[in-house]
């Protein structure tokens, strides 16, 4: 037993990571038959706080519903478990990963009958997701198409869906870019590999709607609230790649990437190829919100140390 091993909350118990046992025959491993979440922890004047904890837990349960994956815990129980793991793993843990997946039934048949489920919550240290991205990220349009909402649920964070995201992200990295822009089956902008996409044109903010095939990002929602509070018009509508190329500003949003300005798309500069004024304004309010410095958005933050272990 490693005394300082990271702790994982696994099926209701807080265990040392090296004590968690999962069968090699797990359906989750073979077929990506599971769902996950990603949350960030921030230092605030009140202590360490989780950003939009309950919203993430609600999405987690909704994702599980789509796979008929039974998570026998409520939003409150999952939220308490998240806090317990964060407390156990200390201040370096800045990213939380809840995962629910199908285990094994001694069979690998796609009938997948009587398969038990497991729920795990772990943390890692993530730091900045897109390294060196402060000056703006470079994007390529992926040659891989985003699956349609008729092939899978894109509203749910289904593990297996992320094979598509990973091959696109790796394609971008191989070409020296930071991120991949994914187009949907109609050739319209869907999202990036793990971020939603926004563009600014003539002072208005646009982002594709859910029917264009994207995850309803919680950061996307936060940005729409902040932008509207700042007095901007935010419109959800289909966006073409050609429009992005002539946008004044483009930025991406995600729990991992936070608010990430985009500098280039397919080698062409976006606007002046530096983070634009509207992006910076929203970024600044978002950064205050997650640092607990914006009273208006304090309901988005959940203190980790509120409850005893
Ligand atoms: C495919 C995809 N799109 C968008 C996002 C951004 O969502 P959120 O802001 O909830 O992290 C994520 C990250 O979870 C994602 O995986």
95: domain CATH number is 3.30.470.10
pTM confidence score: 0.96
139 and 107 housed in the same domain: no
112 belongs to a structural domain: yes
306 belongs to a structural domain: no
302 belongs to a structural domain: no
Query: Are 25 and 101 contacting, i.e. CB atoms less than 8 angstroms apart?
Result: no
Query: Are 209 and 216 contacting, i.e. CB atoms less than 8 angstroms apart?
Result: no
Using a 6 Å CB cutoff, which residues line ligand 1? 38, 165, 191, 194-196, 214-215, 217-220, 253-255
Residue pLDDT, tens place only, 166-206:
999 999 999 999 999 999 999 999 999 999 999 999 999 99
From the list 192, 186, 184, the residue with the least C-alpha distance to 220 is: 192
100 and 145 housed in the same domain: no
Query: Are 112 and 30 contacting, i.e. CB atoms less than 8 angstroms apart?
Result: no
pLDDT at 88: 97
Of the three residues 74, 99, 124, the one that is the final residue of a domain is: 124
295 belongs to a structural domain: no
40 and 115 housed in the same domain: yes
Nearest CA to ligand 1 atom 13: 194
231 and 106 housed in the same domain: no
Alpha carbon distances (Å) from 267 to 113, 140, 246, 276: 49, 8, 13, 18
Range of the domain at 221: 133-290
How many Cβ atoms are within 10 Å of 137's Cβ, its own excluded? 26
Domains of the chain: total: 2
Question: 194 CA to middle of ligand 1, Å?
Answer: 5
241 and 158 housed in the same domain: yes
200 belongs to a structural domain: yes
pLDDT at 254: 98
Low-confidence ranges of the chain (pLDDT < 50): 1, 307-309
Question: 245 CA to middle of ligand 1, Å?
Answer: 22
- CA-256 nearest atom, ligand 1: 11
Residue pLDDT, tens place only, 268-287:
999 999 999 999 999 999 99
Check which CATH number belongs to the domain holding 280 and give it.
Answer: 3.20.10.10
- CA-220 nearest atom, ligand 1: 9
- CA-222 nearest atom, ligand 1: 9
* Active site annotation includes 65: no
Nearest CA to ligand 1 atom 6: 254
37 and 92 housed in the same domain: yes
Cα–Cα distance, 292 to 145 (Å, whole number): 38
Q: Which helix (H) or strand (E) holds 40?
A: strand 39-44
> To 5 degrees, how large is the angle CA 187–CA 189–CA 191?
130
What three-state secondary structure class fits 298? helix
pLDDT at 307: 47
278 belongs to a structural domain: yes
Question: 220 CA to middle of ligand 1, Å?
Answer: 8
185 belongs to a structural domain: yes
164 and 101 housed in the same domain: no
304 belongs to a structural domain: no
Q: What is the DSSP pairing of strand 268-269 with strand 204-207?
A: unpaired
Q: Which helix (H) or strand (E) holds 172?
A: helix 162-174
């Amino acid at each position: 037993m490693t005394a300082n091993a990271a702790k994982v909350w696994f099926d209701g118990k807080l265990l040392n990571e090296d004590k968690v046992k999962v069968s090699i025959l797990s359906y989750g491993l073979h077929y990506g038959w599971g769902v996950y979440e990603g949350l960030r922890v921030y230092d605030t004047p009140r202590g360490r706080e989780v950003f939009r904890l309950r919203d993430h837990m609600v999405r987690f349960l909704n994702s599980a519903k789509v796979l008929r994956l039974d998570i026998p815990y409520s939003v409150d129980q999952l939220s308490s478990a998240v806090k317990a793991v964060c407390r156990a793993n200390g201040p370096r843990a800045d990213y939380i990963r809840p995962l629910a997946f199908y285990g094994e039934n001694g069979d690998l048949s796609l009938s997948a009958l009587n398969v038990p489920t497991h729920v795990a919550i772990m943390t890692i240290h993530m730091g900045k997701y897109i390294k060196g991205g402060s000056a703006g990220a470079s994007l390529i349009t992926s040659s891989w198409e985003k699956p349609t909402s008729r092939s899978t649920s894109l509203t749910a964070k289904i593990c297996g869906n992320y094979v598509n995201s990973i091959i696109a992200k790796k394609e971008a990295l191989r070409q020296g870019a930071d991120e991949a822009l994914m187009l949907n089956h109609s050739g319209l902008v869907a999202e990036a590999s793990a971020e939603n996409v926004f563009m600014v044109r003539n002072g208005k903010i646009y982002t594709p709607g859910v029917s264009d095939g994207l995850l309803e990002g919680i950061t996307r929602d936060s940005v729409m609230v902040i932008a509207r509070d700042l007095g901007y018009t935010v419109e959800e509508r289909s966006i073409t790649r050609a429009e992005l190329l002539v946008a004044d500003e483009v930025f991406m949003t995600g729990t991992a990437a936070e608010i990430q300005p985009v500098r280039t798309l397919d080698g062409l500069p976006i606007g002046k190829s530096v983070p634009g004024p509207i992006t910076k304004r929203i970024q600044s309010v978002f950064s205050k919100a997650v640092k607990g410095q914006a009273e208006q958005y304090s309901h988005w933050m959940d203190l980790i140390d509120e409850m005893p272990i």
